[in-house]
Amino acid sequence: MKFNATLRKFALPALGAALALFAQNAPAQDQAWPTKPVTMVVGFSAGGTTDIIARMLGIELSKMWNQSVIVENRPGAGGNIAGAAVAKAAPDGYTLFMGSTGPLSVNTSLYKRMPFDHLKDFTPISLVADVPNMLVVNPKTMQVNNFKEFMALLKANPGKYFYASTGSGTASHLAMELLKSQANVEATHVPYKGAVALNDLLGGDAVHFMFATIPSAVQHVRNGRLKALALSSKKRSTGLPDIPTVAESGYPNFDASSWFGLVGPANMPKAVTDKISSDIARVLAMPEIHAKFIEQGAEPVGSTPQEFGKYMKDETVKWARVVKISGATAE
């Protein structure tokens, strides 16, 4: 009995220490996630649609997780710089990529060399939103009232007018290249790094028009500094039902919308991936958040990782055809 008492005296503290050590060294996915701030990397500059969507989502997720969600802007190469950084990050869910049509489907057809394989080097998490591109002009330098007048002006003045994009190979670039090929018109491309393009369009000196995502341009349309002529989607926007689509304006096969989705590095733990996806769906279902997205011209989606993975594959095939038809390149 004396021996057992002595054994217990030393064994119990030792067991407690061992359990503490085991808990300390347990894999991250076995602990409550997240236990530290999460970084959401954006491939374009602050103020653009990808940035706007990332910040709206990040604010709500930070409340839900009780951890900061830090939006980090790494613009350049049509989103490829940011994508490459996330692809190389630890697959623990603490470094995520708010990607878009470009780096997650289009760029592989535009760039001769890619710093990542978007279908192998990422873990799909959720499709967040669909956003039509909006054809906008500076009314001071292009005095047209509608899409028909705009097209007539381009046809009468081949190559005279300059259009901005948020970067070579981005959706804003490719949408115009597709329109040029379908309508047989000419215009000169001026690529920018992200939302800076819109600033120059507002200035009216260097460029005359562009396909801009609705969230980045809608406030300028509402205050009259820009004029919206058409949307790039097949259907009209819920938030802006009065703006016609290019498809209904004489080009029925035209469809060049943007979409935005969240991915992480390849081989993320399934439990973490499913949690993030589920929490995004919860955020997008909140009436006030849903209304904010619609107000910005974005259609909130939310999807499972499996659905988003299939969507990325389907979009890759679709945009490969568009790139080939348009002849667009990014290099």
Which has the higher per-residue pLDDT, 105 or 193? 105
227-250: b or e for each residue (b if 16 or more CB lie within 10 Å)? bbbbbbbbebbebbeebebbbebe
Which ranges in the chain are annotated with CATH 3.40.190.10?
133-249
- Cβ 100 vs Cβ 213: under 8 Å: no
Give tens-digit pLDDT for 240-297: 899 999 999 999 989 888 899 999 999 999 999 999 999 999 999 999 999 999 988 8
% of the chain surpassing 90 pLDDT = 70
324 three-class SS: helix
Cite the DSSP H helix spans in the chain. Answer: 2-24, 49-65, 80-87, 101, 107-110, 147-156, 171-183, 196-203, 214-222, 270-285, 287-295, 305-326
Range 17-28 average pLDDT: 42
Q: How far is CA 42 from CA 59, 161, 214, 258, 293, in A?
A: 15, 31, 18, 15, 18
User: How would you classify the pairing of strands 95-100 and 133-137?
Assistant: unpaired
Note if the pTM is more than 0.75.
yes
Given this model, what pLDDT does residue 149 score?
98
54 three-class SS: helix
- Cβ 214 vs Cβ 222: under 8 Å: no
Angstrom distance (rounded) from CA 305 to CA 270: 10
Given this model, what pLDDT does residue 324 score?
85
Element (H, E) at 129: strand 122-131
245 phi/psi in degrees, rounded to 5: -100, 160
Given this model, what pLDDT does residue 90 score?
98
Q: Evaluate the CA torsion angle 38, 44, 46, 48 in order and state its sign.
A: negative
Q: List 97's β-bridge partners, or say none.
A: 41, 263
Topology of domain 34-131+258-326 in CATH is D-Maltodextrin-Binding Protein; domain 2 (3.40.190)
Angstrom distance (rounded) from CA 306 to CA 209: 38
The first and second tokens of residue 173, run together, are 């670039």
Range 28-52 average pLDDT: 86
Given this model, what pLDDT does residue 31 score?
60
* Architecture of the structural domain at 133-249: 3-Layer(aba) Sandwich (3.40)
Which ranges in the chain are annotated with CATH 3.40.190.150?
34-131+258-326
Is pLDDT above 60 for 5? no
% of the chain surpassing 70 pLDDT = 90
Given this model, what pLDDT does residue 326 score?
74
Is pLDDT above 90 for 212? yes
Is pLDDT above 70 for 20? no
Give tens-digit pLDDT for 68-94: 999 999 998 889 999 999 999 999 999
pLDDT, averaged across the chain: 89
Range 214-231 average pLDDT: 94
Give tens-digit pLDDT for 169-199: 778 888 998 899 899 999 999 998 777 899 9
- Cβ 211 vs Cβ 133: under 8 Å: yes
Q: In what order do the strands lie in the sheet with 227-231?
A: 188-191, 162-165, 209-213, 133-137, 227-231
Give tens-digit pLDDT for 48-59: 889 999 999 999
